[in-house]
Amino acid sequence: MGNSAFPTTPETLSDSWLSEALGQPVNGHRVERFSEGTGVIGLVTRVHLDTDAGPPTLIAKFPSPAAENRAVAATYDMYGREVRFYQQIASTLPLKTAACYFSAYDPESQDFVLLLEDLDNYRIGDQVEGCTLEEARAVVDAIALMHASTWRGAGVPTLQSHGSDMQRDGMIGGFQLGWPVVQAQFGDLIPSSAVNAGEKMPGAIGRLLEEMCQDPVAMAHADVRLDNIFFGTGNDVVFVDWQSACTSAPEQDLAYFLTQSVPREVLTQEDLVLRYYEALVANGIEDYALDRCRARYRISALYLLCYAVVIAGTLDMGNERGKALARTLLGNSLAALDEMDAFTLLD
């Protein structure tokens, strides 16, 4: 267990600790590793339990074994944020979230463990494969419900703003490190409108963030991509990976999902920004203009290119699926920004 009073790797799980954490006897367990590319910042495993009560399986989440990924998590308090989300916020949202059976976090060591409901009767999204229009609609409706319920920070006073100096400086540094790698490895994806982005983006990030984090803000998941979304029957969706939860422009979640997870041919079938706005209104938001929503969507989409660049250019993807993921989100983002003429915002 290392220096922490709880397991910090799958190997340090024990029947006795699981029995204590779950409040029921566990006579044996087996850890199942997921396929490569699952869990970039954290290590995600499925645990099969030999028990007479409770769930036969659960999801156990631990810190990443990759030092560089742990460093990213520490910089942005990602492990602490996710534990606090499940401890303080999840039960207050009008959305289904995975049940949390146990959570612990040590801010000194940055160690944590989460035991979560196994959503094995749901189908997980795949950012490389994309999604259908029906699935995109369901996600847009769900995030609109979350944003309307936390409008102007209602009910989530402990969440930090996305517009912190640390976030700004981290994105500037991450972009500057990642962009040369993107140019070298993914140069065929860069449209002519983005050729000057490498020079101009670092100086614009602070301004974009400031505009995104002006009132009104709402709770943002801040990592709404298909790999973090489970689909049930009908319009039932569940978001996982709450490591980036914060307050920000509600359009941040919308722009990240639409411009980096939804295939181009699906995105052009319907005005999903309008659908999102109409869902906000239907959920009681009256003092917000559609023009403002569209403008913040464009600003957020441009800022979020930083995410794609950081993932594609600086994180240890370490496998073929990870590389395909980087190529998909980067290609989707650059194409969407080109289509909405967003790179002119850098001037």
Give the C-alpha separation, 344 to 64, whole Å: 38
Question: Residues with Cβ < 8 Å from 165, sequence gap 6 or more?
Answer: none
Q: Please answer whether residues 137 and 254 qualify as being in contact, where contact means their C-beta atoms are separated by less than 8 angstroms.
A: no
Q: How sure is the predictor about 76, in pLDDT bands with cuts at 50, 70 and 90?
A: confident
Give the C-alpha separation, 211 to 299, whole Å: 8
pLDDT (0 to 100) of residue 38: 52
pLDDT (0 to 100) of residue 54: 83
Q: At what angle do helices 320-339 and 290-303 cross, to 10 degrees?
A: 140
Looking at residues 267-273, what average pLDDT do you find?
96
pLDDT (0 to 100) of residue 234: 83
Q: Map residue 153 onto helix, strand or coil.
A: helix
Average pLDDT, the chain: 93
Residue 296: other Cβ atoms inside 10 A: 22
pLDDT (0 to 100) of residue 316: 59
Percent of the chain with pLDDT over 90: 84
Residue 95: other Cβ atoms inside 10 A: 14
Give the C-alpha separation, 292 to 24, whole Å: 52
pLDDT (0 to 100) of residue 317: 59
Residue 199: other Cβ atoms inside 10 A: 10
Q: Range with the lowest mean pLDDT among 133-142, 171-180, 267-276, 321-330?
A: 321-330
Question: Residues with Cβ < 8 Å from 3, sequence gap 6 or more?
Answer: 106, 109, 111
Looking at residues 12-30, what average pLDDT do you find?
96
Give the C-alpha separation, 87 to 148, whole Å: 21
Question: Residues with Cβ < 8 Å from 163, sequence gap 6 or more?
Answer: 209, 210, 212, 213, 248
Chain centroid to Cα 179, Å, comes to 21
Looking at residues 57-70, what average pLDDT do you find?
92
Residue 37 has pLDDT above 60, yes or no: no
Looking at residues 14-21, what average pLDDT do you find?
96
Q: Which class for 93: exposed (0-12), middle (13-18), buried (19 or more C-beta within 10 A)?
A: middle
Q: 215-241: per-residue pLDDT in tens? A: 999 999 999 999 999 999 988 999 999
Q: Please answer whether residues 130 and 261 qualify as being in contact, where contact means their C-beta atoms are separated by less than 8 angstroms.
A: yes
Q: How sure is the predictor about 275, in pLDDT bands with cuts at 50, 70 and 90?
A: very high
Strand partners, 182: none
Give the C-alpha separation, 300 to 282, whole Å: 23
Q: 118-168: per-residue pLDDT in tens? A: 999 999 999 999 999 999 999 999 999 999 999 999 999 889 999 999 999
Q: Please answer whether residues 227 and 257 qualify as being in contact, where contact means their C-beta atoms are separated by less than 8 angstroms.
A: no
Pick the more confident residue, 344 or 76. Answer: 344
pLDDT (0 to 100) of residue 39: 55
Q: Give the Å distances, CA to CA, from 111 to 1, 6, 42, 68, 209.
A: 10, 9, 11, 15, 29
Give the C-alpha separation, 283 to 143, whole Å: 11
Q: How sure is the predictor about 304, in pLDDT bands with cuts at 50, 70 and 90?
A: very high
Residue 268 has pLDDT above 60, yes or no: yes
